[in-house]
Amino acid sequence: MALAVGAAVWSLTATQGPCSGGAATLESSWGDARRAALKGAVLATEHRYAPSTWAHLRPRLDLWAADWIETHRAVCLASSDRPTTEHTEPDGSTEAAMACLERARVHLDAFLGVLSDGEANATRNAIYGAAGLPSPKICASLHGPREPNAPAVTQRLAVLNSQLAQAAARANAGEVGTDIEVALQVALEARELGDTRLHVEAMLVQATLRAALGEQHGAQAALREAYRLGVTASYPALTRDAARRLVLMTGVDRAHYSDAQQWQRRALSQLSGQAPDPIARARLLANLAVVHARVGEFTAARDTLARALVLQKSVPDADTMFFVEVYPQLARAMLAGQRFEDAARLARNALTLARENLGEDHPAVAERLVELTAARQQSP
């Protein structure tokens, strides 16, 4: 992935021109002062891997910011080019897209705040958290309601989104705490205020938190509700995310393998009729490959992973961070099934991706080395 050019991309997108206000809007969240402060906070942890983490984290965040600014500009230009007359009814697209971008910016702010606060696991999980930030690009294709909310409702929804973003950021940093209660309250109020998107997002965060606490049944219930709401309100990206996660969560238990297949079909149905999204398909197939391996279907696991990689490689400079977590799961499943050569190959790939995405000094690299050694030792 071309993250190394993130800083250059950032400087290019911050130039003046029509609809160039996005750079100024994002300045407080990710400008020079914020970058310098975050660098200081990461390095101040004095973890051995802190310098390497910053070296990999900054270009990733620069690229995210460049995507945000470019999406902001594209939405603005599209709105400017749209013909209007006194009889034209607004379609809500611009308002929905700008609201989406603001939600994404709030999530960035929350994530950077957690990192700056020096939470116990924040530096270790920093790059994972950055990779998990909501993509600004999805905001360009949203459509919103024709009727705006009352000012008081809009203000309250902004507060709720900020609270949810804080909970999500702490979860991504490995700090769960009492944030399940926050996600539950946000979901409740979002439903009462009629904001289905925020309700779905709250259920997805709740699922993440419950899974981190080992509450698998609760996590699955939250994901099922997110899927149901997302289908009803036509939020394909959120619906797809819920289904993809359910593929893995239900499929790790052989007794629920048929459930995993069902969620796979549902996720694929959300992809049909949409613009081609090879990365979404690749991630879905990668989760299914893990399921195949967990239940002993090793040939199917290899074939499914191969299909996922073909899709992933079809996108130039695609982010490989997702596979940093997939490869170790596959390697462990192959090792447990005494498929030692497959386990060693997957462990090697896991080690390579960990080094590329996290840096040589990151603890995950040492963990991947241990797993590779174990696979090699048991290989005939």
CB 68 within 8 Å of CB 372: no
- 12 or 241: which leads in pLDDT: 241
Task: For residues 21-46, give the mean pLDDT.
Answer: 93
Q: CB of 187 within 8 A of CB of 199?
A: yes
pLDDT score for 300 = 94
DSSP 256: G
Q: pLDDT confidence of 12, banded at 50, 70, 90?
A: very low
Per-residue pLDDT of 166-194, as tens digits, reads: 999 988 887 777 799 999 999 999 999 99
- For residue 4, the model assigns a pLDDT of 46
pLDDT band at 150 (very low <50, low <70, confident <90, very high): confident
pLDDT at residue number 174? 78
The pLDDT score that the predictor gives to residue 35 is 95
- pLDDT score, position 275: 67
SS3 state of residue 215: coil
What pLDDT is stored for residue 86 in this prediction? 46
CA distance 57 to 79: 33
The residues, ordered by sequence, that sit 6+ positions from 296 with a Cβ below 8 Å of its Cβ are 337
Over the stretch 102-149, which tens digit does the pLDDT of each residue have? 999 999 999 999 999 877 689 999 999 999 999 998 888 766 554 567
| pLDDT the model gives residue 120 | 67
* pLDDT per position as a tens digit, 219-237: 999 999 999 999 999 888 8
Nearest to 305 by CA among 277, 276, 334: 334
CA distance 96 to 141: 9
> What is this structure's pTM?
0.88
pLDDT mean across residues, the chain: 87
pLDDT value at position 143? Answer: 60
The pLDDT of residue 91 is 54
- Window from 38-47, 86-95, 135-144 with minimum mean pLDDT: 86-95
Whole-number percent of the chain with pLDDT over 90 = 66
**Six token digits for residue 254:** 């052989």
What distance in Å separates the CA atoms of residue 129 and residue 171, rounded to the nearest whole number? 9
Q: Is the pLDDT of residue 1 over 90?
A: no
Mean predicted confidence (pLDDT) in 155-173: 93
- On the 0-12 / 13-18 / 19+ scale of CB atoms within 10 A, 162 is middle
Q: Is the confidence at residue 87, as pLDDT, over 50?
A: no
DSSP 141: G
Handedness of CA 202, 208, 214, 218 (dihedral sign): positive
Answer with the residue of higher pLDDT: 324 or 81.
324
Query: Would you place residue 37 in the very low, low, confident or very high pLDDT band (cuts 50, 70, 90)?
Result: very high
Which of 97-101, 272-276, 308-312 is predicted least confidently?
272-276
User: How far is residue 322's CA from residue 15's CA, in Å, rounded to a whole number?
Assistant: 32
The span from the CA of 193 to the CA of 286, in Å, is: 37
Instruction: Give the E-state strand segments of the chain in sequence order.
Output: none
pLDDT of amino acid 139: 87
Tens digits of residue pLDDT in 308-358: 999 999 999 899 999 999 999 999 999 999 999 999 999 999 999 999 999
User: Looking at 25-29, 85-89, 185-189, which range is the least confident one?
Assistant: 85-89
